[in-house]
Chain A
Amino acid sequence: MELFFDLLLVFLLVCTIAVSLSKNLLNSIIIYMSFSLVMSVIWILLESPDLAITEAAVGAGVTSILFIITLKKIHAILKNESDPDHEETKEEHHE
């Protein structure tokens, strides 16, 4: 159990470093989603089930969805130009 807990903590650290270093915005957001999910499992190992349910619904759900919606709005306004500081993501347009 201790080993599993330590592995999860190391995974958290790796996730945070990966979020800072990734170039693609969509990748960062998906890594953040997995960070939230692992946090949810850690709450259970720390014997707080309320926090686990809330973090799973809110962190890996609503917050990440809001990030992705923000990306969509920003791309939509940009239309087809390419902006160097804007870090392209390969996001397919809605059909």
Chain B
Amino acid sequence: MSRKVSEKEYEKTLTFRLRQWLSGAKDPFLDTVEMKPQQQIRESEEVIREHELQHQRIVEHSYDVEHNAQVRLFRKFYKLFSVIFCLCLVFILLVGVSSLPQYGHEENPVNNEVSARYIERGLQETGAINIVTGMILDYRAFDTLGESHVLFLATCTVLILMRRDKKKYQETAEHNDRIYEPKNDVILQTTARVLVPFIELFGIYVILGGHLGPGGGFSGGAICGAGLILYLNAFGFAKTERFFTGKTYKCMCFGALACYSLAKTYSFYTGANHIESVIPLGTPGAILSSGLILILDICVGLVVSGTMYTFYVMFRKGGY
């Protein structure tokens, strides 16, 4: 630091002594005023131990919920008031229900022109025979996009919470189910050998036939995921890891979500002017009809099946 005066002269100035005092390097009163320097208080071992015991006793007494009279009174009142609160809630809801229009009537206000439009022009505008599938994947495709992202987000959160480092927890049983492997239960394996192909086939059928009959991406994806869970239970971890690893899940979900987003979010950038789809609608009733709905069904089905399987696998063994 450059100064106007040299180091020695600076040490004689008032500013230097002020700075020393502020930083606590030197106490200016130490040898000038008649004051002895402070001595460190040294307590004996017993005093320290007794203080700790007292502190522990105070903590235990204050957090002792079993013998605290106030807490017991509070618990009784809590039960009483929660029952009263639930009864009030039921009462308010029943009053609401009693002022609703009659159940099952055609002229209810809920059956308005929106549903009339979906039913009357749904087949021509979306090409889907199943009106509900056409609605959620064409008219209201953003809702389904958001919902797929909610599934993906839930999977990420379960991954964060339940994932276990393979190197650290290899040995203990509670963290890793692998010490119970392989199971080779005869009944389970025979049944699974027969059932799993049919389950997967049925799941794929429900996904692909979403626009032709009941079903769709969600239902078919859940069925496929359930089939994968059965396979994992019957044949063990090693055989399932041959074809379904973490990388599989990542590629599957990322690909499906990216495909869906690209197909439906470009209208953010074109100023909400939806470009007319170049994919022709085709004849209703054929499988290759209804434009984008088939592709979006497959995307949603992949995401949902991956999600169901991931939940199970994370809970069981903390990793893929």
Contact = CB atoms under 8 A, between A and B. Distances in A.
Given A50-B216, A66-B315, A58 B222 contact: yes
Interface of A: 48-50, 52-54, 57-58, 61-62, 65-66, 69-70, 73, 76-77, 79, 94-95
B223 A57 contact: yes
B214 A50 contact: yes
Interface of B: 130, 132-133, 173-174, 180, 183, 206, 214-216, 218-219, 222-223, 225-226, 229, 308, 311-312, 315-316
Contacts, number: 54
B308 A62 contact: yes
B174 A57 contact: no
Contact of A76 (B132, B174, B223, B226): B174
A57 B222 contact: yes
A83 to B, nearest CB: 15
Nearest to B224: A57
Contacts of B315: 66, 69-70, 73
Contact of A69 (B173, B180, B222, B316): B316
A61 B203 CA distance: 14
Given A58-B222, A62-B226, A94-B180, A53 B214 contact: yes
B222 A50 contact: no
Rank and list the top 5 A-B pairs by shortest CB-CB distance, nearest first: A49-B214, A57-B222, A53-B219, A76-B174, A69-B315
A48 B132 CA distance: 9
13 contacts: A49-B215, A50-B132, A50-B133, A50-B215, A50-B218, A53-B223, A54-B218, A57-B219, A58-B222, A65-B229, A66-B311, A66-B315, A73-B174
Given A50-B218, A50-B219, 17 more contacts: A48-B132, A50-B130, A50-B132, A53-B206, A53-B215, A53-B219, A54-B219, A57-B226, A61-B222, A62-B226, A66-B311, A69-B315, A69-B316, A70-B315, A73-B315, A95-B180, A95-B183
